[in-house]
Amino acid sequence: MLLFRAAGRLCACDLDAVKEIVPGRPATRLPGAPSWVDGLINVRGTLITVVDLAARFGAVRDAAVQGSIVIVKGAGKSFGVRVDAVRDVRTLEAGSLEPVDALRDAGGVVQALVHVGVAGGESALLCDIEAIAREALAVQDGSTSHG
């Protein structure tokens, strides 16, 4: 798992989904996109939709912190996830994973979370890259009206 910080929380995602990590940079806003979609960035000639994970969690990101953009692959396409800081690569113990299904709601903040696990004695929120990808790609394709 790749461990990173977003919205003051320790989060994790499956390392197999990560393509690369690039330095944070401003994104070009997409008109009508939800506040948690940061916009588009150009990575070596390819336009990548960037999701601001802090905003997706309902928090306000510190604009002074450039952070990093984790380029991931989900739902068959690449997109970026803006995070405050990339922390480490660790294995989460399978026995430590607790589902967060009871917390999920149809469009809520925790829809993008799948488990809470323990890494190095700290709790980490395991992000569902596929769910985030479906949301981000729906926005990119213009088939959503989240606001």
If DSSP states are collapsed to H, E and C, what string results for 71-127? EEEECCEEEEEEECEEEEECCCCHHHCEECHHHCCCCCHHHHEEEEEEECCEEEEEE
Per-residue confidence (pLDDT) for residue 50, from 0 to 100? 93
Q: Which domain holds residue 66?
A: 2-140
Per-residue confidence (pLDDT) for residue 78, from 0 to 100? 92
Residue 147, domain member (yes or no): no
Residue 130, domain member (yes or no): yes
Residue 145, domain member (yes or no): no
Residue 106, domain member (yes or no): yes
Residue 146, domain member (yes or no): no
Model pTM score: 0.80
Per-residue confidence (pLDDT) for residue 70, from 0 to 100? 97
Number of domains comprising the chain: 1
- Strand order across the 9-13 sheet: 85-89, 2-6, 9-13, 122-127, 113-119, 98-99
Residue 40, domain member (yes or no): yes
Per-residue confidence (pLDDT) for residue 32, from 0 to 100? 87
Per-residue confidence (pLDDT) for residue 15, from 0 to 100? 93
CB burial of residue 12 (10 Å; 0-12, 13-18, 19+)? buried
- The residues near 142 (Cβ < 8 Å, ≥ 6 apart) are none
Return averaged pLDDT per consecutive 10 residues of the chain, 147 residues in all.
89 93 94 89 94 82 80 91 92 67 47 68 84 75 46
Residue 33, domain member (yes or no): yes
CATH number at 20 reads: 2.40.50.180
Residue 73, domain member (yes or no): yes
Q: How far apart are CA 133 and CA 5, in angstroms?
A: 19
- The torsion angle over the Cα atoms of residues 80, 83, 85 and 87, rounded to 10 degrees, is -70
